[in-house]
Amino acid sequence: MDFSFTTKEEEFRHELRTWLEENLPEGWLDGTSKVSKNEGEYAIFLRNWQRKLYEGGWAAIAWPEKYGGREATLMEEIVYQQEMVRVKAPALVNYVGIHMVAPTLMQIGTEEQKSKYIQKILTGEEVWCQGYSEPNAGSDLSAIQTSAVKDGDRWIINGQKVWTSFGHLADRCFLLARTNRFDKKHKGITVFLLDMNQPGVETRPIIQMDGQHDFNEVYLNDAIAYDAEIVGEVDEGWKVTIALLMHERTGIGGQVFTLEQQFNELVSLTKELKEDDQPLMANPLVRKEMIDLYTRTRGSLLNYYRNLTKTLKNGHPGAEGSMDKLMVSELTKELLSQSISLQGHQGVLWKEDAITANSYWQDNYLYSFGQTIGGGTSEIQKNTIGERILGLPKDMGR
């Protein structure tokens, strides 16, 4: 494998790096930014940031040019992820829309749907969420019970969704509902492009253990969707669901590079924190832990590059993405746990009491548990690896 980048790719990196230096919020790079954490104000800030990305041509680089993208190569996408991680760029508020919904509409949607939704997704004018999981249908999406009943040219939708990321900010929802009941659970599901700003949709916050509000419960009480808002065919939504999930699981690269960056920051922490007037890194037990984490962090990166090489040869991602997802999410949680342990009793302090700026390690440690769930739990990833890579028999419980 050749890990070097071509001259063209390095020119692409320089162009992006220059743009970021000129357009990131004031004080962002030196840590003096005064971005408000008030939920309403922060939501406006994130929408404005996406609008700036769009105006600079950086909101959706992999999209076709006719939709406002750059038709970036896979390697240019890797460069993009590396640079965004390097500067800890603001979150993409319309991540679901840009990386999942729009690519699925380009692949399966009608011309009317492409014309109506894709441009607004790119600009951030319409934020999207994903209505998949339900209280009794998480990893097993085929068990959904939310129903849609036809009434003329419209559908009456009732049910509940949970763990809906950015649902409180969303204008539209890529929603799964059961429109028929067949012997096979995967049949009879339809995908709707639901308007979230209607009386029949109620969003309730789920406050995470890190105090943040990213997830929501969504209650649907006679919510309305129309025939024109169906993606694909009625009762054949499982094919659409799989198409969207394939787009969702191609974003692991950013997590790999974030893990690498967090390891380097952890090494710096061991040099800053002291025990008996000596840096923690002087302790041989700490050095042993750092060597172990380095070996596995580096291994996860090289494994990602190996799978990336296969994708470049085949032209499409394979089941190996589950290996990357499993390794990175579990190792991230372990690395961040180690960061808390290294701080000793002070590791349990949070917010303004934390010894590190803005409780960076505490916030990320609490958030890391969700990374082993979102995008497919670690258990589901192990099943995929066992069945599709190792050739083991299918899980008898499914």
Catalytic center residues: 248
Evaluate whether 61 touches 70 at the Cβ level (below 8 Å).
yes
Tell me the chain's radius of gyration from C-alpha atoms: 22
Evaluate whether 127 touches 169 at the Cβ level (below 8 Å).
yes
What distance in Å separates the CA atoms of residue 351 and residue 8, rounded to the nearest whole number? 43
Would the CA dihedral through 11, 318, 117, 205 be positive or negative?
negative
Residue 312 backbone phi and psi in degrees, to 5? -60, -35
Strand runs labelled E in 234-321: 274-275, 278-279
What distance in Å separates the CA atoms of residue 382 and residue 378, rounded to the nearest whole number? 6
Q: Closest by alpha carbon to 252, among 186, 197, 305?
A: 305
What distance in Å separates the CA atoms of residue 161 and residue 308, rounded to the nearest whole number? 34
Q: From the CB of residue 238, how many other CB atoms can be counted at a distance below 10 Å?
A: 20
DSSP code of 288?
H
Residues 232, 373, 305: CA angle, nearest 5 degrees: 85
Q: From the CB of residue 367, how many other CB atoms can be counted at a distance below 10 Å?
A: 17
DSSP reduced 3-state for 292:
helix
What distance in Å separates the CA atoms of residue 176 and residue 137, rounded to the nearest whole number? 11
Tokens of 241: 């669901």
